[in-house]
Amino acid sequence: MRQDYYTNSKDYINRWVVSYADFVTMLLALFMVMYAVLQIDNQKMAALQERMQKTFSTNLKVEYVTKYQENSLQNNTYGTEALTKLFKDNLSQTKSINLVKDPRGLIVRVNSNVIFDEGSAQIKPQAQKTITEIVKVLTKINNPVIIEGHSDSTPIKNKKFPSNWELSTARATNIISFIMKNSKISPKRLCAVGYGEYMPIGDNTSISGRMLNRRVDIIVLEKEK
């Protein structure tokens, strides 16, 4: 009788081992999931999720957040879809501005004639409202921005601008100068580029094509430069 009591008491005392083993197993599973999230891509994560559901017979769902998506949430950096909506909601001059989705991000495209007189890099007073609206949107985000100046193939040669290259570059630079004077946007986010007539989007042999090519592209990058 005393021996049976001793044996039963010993079994009762050691029952904690079962709970401890279950706890350790769950911890191991948790660490495996955390490690997998940091190491694998979306496709592999989907496969892992499927295997986890079959193994544990639960509706477990693991959401994979890329490093860039995480930085976007923290740094207020927008993706292309969010950028498009943001500009549409905040721009009144939609007829003179085209929003074009691009592999790099979003292009806010403005015809040069809206901002500059022919052969000039000086921003027209009536165009400052349009640029100001764009700048106000840029102040709400932290995406890097490239200002590209473009022209048609009509030659230009004067004392100030020997070619369309100089003209397009000066226009891009002057827009950046306007942004710097009228906002607190960090200069590290901005870049000016002049392409002259060498990046056409229209046919330079037609009037309508040349009009398309005379443009300023404000490119809001989706990713860090």
Q: pLDDT tens digits, the chain, 225 residues: what are they?
A: 555 555 555 555 566 566 667 777 777 777 676 766 565 555 565 665 666 565 554 443 444 334 444 444 345 788 999 999 999 999 986 678 999 999 999 999 999 999 999 999 999 999 999 999 999 999 999 999 999 999 999 999 888 999 999 999 999 999 999 999 999 999 999 999 999 999 999 999 999 999 999 999 999 998 654
Do the strands 215-221 and 105-111 form a parallel or antiparallel pair, or are they unpaired?
antiparallel
Phi-psi region of 54 (alpha: psi -120 to 50; beta: other; left: phi over 0): alpha
Residue bearing tokens 């060498």: 198
d(CA 16, CA 128): 75
Residue 5 identity (one-letter amino acid): Y
pLDDT digits (tens, 9 = 90+) for 42-99: 556 566 566 656 555 444 344 433 444 444 434 578 899 999 999 999 998 667 899 9
Residue 173 · residue 216 · CB < 8 Å? no
- Looking at the whole model, is its pTM more than 0.85? no
pLDDT at residue 96 in the model: 82
pLDDT at residue 7 in the model: 54
d(CA 108, CA 29): 47
Q: Please, what is the end-to-end C-alpha distance for the chain in angstroms?
A: 80
pLDDT at residue 62 in the model: 40
pLDDT at residue 28 in the model: 74
Q: In what order do the strands lie in the sheet with 190-196?
A: 97-102, 105-111, 215-221, 145-150, 190-196
Residue 141 · residue 76 · CB < 8 Å? yes
d(CA 61, CA 221): 31
